[in-house]
Structure 1
């Protein structure tokens, strides 16, 4: 069996996932291939395509999508798919070129198609017509790969679970990279936030909340790790409200992040919204209790309030203050228990589980007949090309 994973780009967290899956599936006599569409235009510009593996290719390594016509993209994608001729295509949502063209090729060639998605439908605003077309096309996928079963309620209201197989666990990281080998101590007096400094991360409200902490518990320091267009504005804001115990460290290499996590007592992420938030996985794999906005989707699966951290509303500064103080005032044994609980929870979301979930799904799909397209499905799939637009991903819409 040949399986192909295709997306706009497969950077950062996908790198190790794909290498693991390639080796894991190879042991089951399944060949895995990977295709990235564009080498430029990604939010992950700091992680360029540098692959040399024969099974992993980038179709337009020197282009972004807006430098190409949809026909150029389609022709190159179809040519590569014809060359590999996979039995199963795994691709992102059909709103992207990878998903839209992947399902079109799969249906034309009587192959199976799996879609992965970590955005909850309720978090994406579309007009009735566009959402209807998306639902029409997506109803023809064979399986849906979601981060966790927390997504079931929203997706099962749109798609029939009897017709589409749901499975889980792709939003994982290499937990071992973040493992703390020594006994965790909670005497660092540091709480860390790792985030790109853009409006959607809600760092200004975190600084407002930290002002209260600063005034009532001035021996703790807030570490902000990350860069972005708001860096100077946020640093000036911290100075304007006379925050003393806050450190803006800027961006660091990804392989240095575990060290900063190990030197902290807890992790906080106050985002207005996150489709998942893989930095939460990293913090928990490093043994940190987590303080999370209830709009971070990872919190619904990974955070047990009062067990391995605390939840708060991103717009409620007083509540954020309360949760910060509540954690800081915990005795060390309680913090150690939260740390142990974080490790226990994150260890259920790992590469082994991801591989087993995918393997079980591939075996299931071998027993399923190909779906027959209705006229409307056929028209929608063959007219829709997908798109790639990251404009506004880091902005917050205020009502």
Structure 2
């Protein structure tokens, strides 16, 4: 199973999968380009190889990456190789390796892409179809991703849900522990008694200026009687967001705790009253899983891939149009007025979306893949792979 870098979510999935099969986790780089995770210590129940321990994958030449992928897979001799999508250079290198082993190895593509998460063009979709045609099965985030993979030519019985999961038990237990010691933890983390929480990188697609404006409008509609907003995360837009908060006169009603490491996340979730994700583009949104596992009601942009599977309007939260401020203002009010009941429903709805689902789906797809004829790469597919992996 190949990933660019092992964050906490990947480790939870690999650990669950290792209870059902022999797993080699291939980590391309020892650090992430997007997240400053501190690697947790301790042994893991799966074999792990890091191809570039001291560098990021973007620093590797295509030749070095292909050589290391081939050498690693040659040594392990897998029956199944699970790859992270069809854009990743390591995934393409693994596809080339599998193509050199006709009839003996199958590919499972792991994907959360959906039709609406980016601009589509005929030539790009043509290339994707050829790459997907080399895969024997697909493990996807949710129903939108499944429909997209079907549109690229994969049969429905070759697709299973369960790629986008988090360790629900970890978040539930540690959020509950935070609530049991709420006063001390609020004081240590400088958190208000009740608050709306959002968690994301501070980049344009996360739509944080819209979120702040909508929150300001909601506060005005309640004559200032509204929970504060805590924006957890960091990134290039932070100075502009802080200036926006100041210009709106929100003061400490919007707080910026910065990037929070995995071991501290449940405390922020556990002491919040509701969670909001306002992205204009989001293939899935694992922070919604985290919030629901922590027992929070959720407000989720209908542009997020997870919205179709995890949010039942009026039951555990609400979806909204990330370009319609009034829609989100209504959502803030509805969640604030019914937070306890909605949060309890969240915890129940997220329960099936666990690492065990990832493992069981992967194991089932492995059987499907091994029972099917090995896909044959066309001349166009081989040329495409070599061109993309160069």
| TM-score interval (norm. to shorter) | 0.7 to 0.9
Question: Which residue of the partner structure matches residue 10 of structure 1?
Answer: 6
Report what 1:346 is aligned to.
Answer: 350
Matches within 5 A, 1:309-320: 309-320=317-328
Over 3 Å counting, the alpha-carbon distance change for 1:223 and 1:67 in structure 2 is closer
The farther-off stretch of 67-76 and 280-289 is: 67-76
Partner residue of 1:396?
none
In terms of mean alpha carbon deviation, does 72-81 or 8-17 score higher?
Answer: 8-17
Unpaired segments ≥5 residues, structure 1? 387-399
* Counterpart check, 1:230 vs 2:237: yes
1:178 to 2:195 alignment: no
Give the RMSD, CA atoms, in angstroms: 2.4
| Alignment pair present for 1:20 and 2:25 | no
Q: Say if 1:368 and 1:45 are closer, same or farther in 2 by CA, change over 3 A.
A: same
The one of 226, 242, 247 aligned to 1:240: 247
SS of 2:352's equivalent in the other structure is coil
Where relative contact order (Cα < 8 A, 6+ residues apart) is larger, the structure is: 2
C-alpha deviation, 1:50, in angstroms:
7.3
Task: Provide the residue aligned with 1:268 in structure 2.
Answer: 276
Task: Indicate how the Cα distance of structure 1 residues 39 and 189 shifts in structure 2: closer, same or farther if over 3 A, else same.
Answer: closer
1:297 shift after superposition? 1.0
Q: Is the Cα contact below 8 Å between 2:28 and 2:52 reproduced in 1?
A: yes
Q: Deviations over 1:105-128 (max 9, x none)?
A: 112113100010112133233543
Q: Once the two structures are superposed, what CA deviation does each residue of 1:222-279 show, in whole Å capped at 9, x if it has no partner?
A: 1111222222221121111111422222222221111111111110111111111100
The aligned residue for residue 141 of structure 1 is: 135
2:315 to 278, 296, 307: 307
1:325 is displaced (CA, Å) by: 1.9
Q: Is the 8 A contact 1:148 1:168 kept in 2?
A: yes
Gap runs ≥5 in structure 2:
181-191
Of 339, 357, 372, which aligns to 1:335? 339
TM-score between the two structures when normalised by the length of structure 1? 0.86
> Structure 1 CA distance, aligned partners of 2:205 and 2:355?
29
Q: Which residue of 1 aligns with 2:183?
A: none
Distance (Å, rounded) in 2 between the aligned partners of 1:240 and 1:358? 50
Cα pair 2:269 2:291 within 8 Å, conserved: yes
Aligned partner of 2:186 in structure 1 is: none
Alignment of 1:1-399 (within 5 A): 5-22=1-18, 24-25=19-20, 30-40=21-31, 42-47=33-38, 55-110=47-102, 111-161=105-155, 165-179=158-172, 180-181=175-176, 188-217=193-222, 218-219=224-225, 220-244=227-251, 245-328=253-336, 330=337, 334-385=338-389
State the TM-score, normalized to the length of structure 2: 0.88
Aligned-pair CA distance for 1:49: 9.2
What is the alpha-carbon distance in structure 1 between the residues aligned to residue 124 and residue 369 of structure 2? Answer: 29
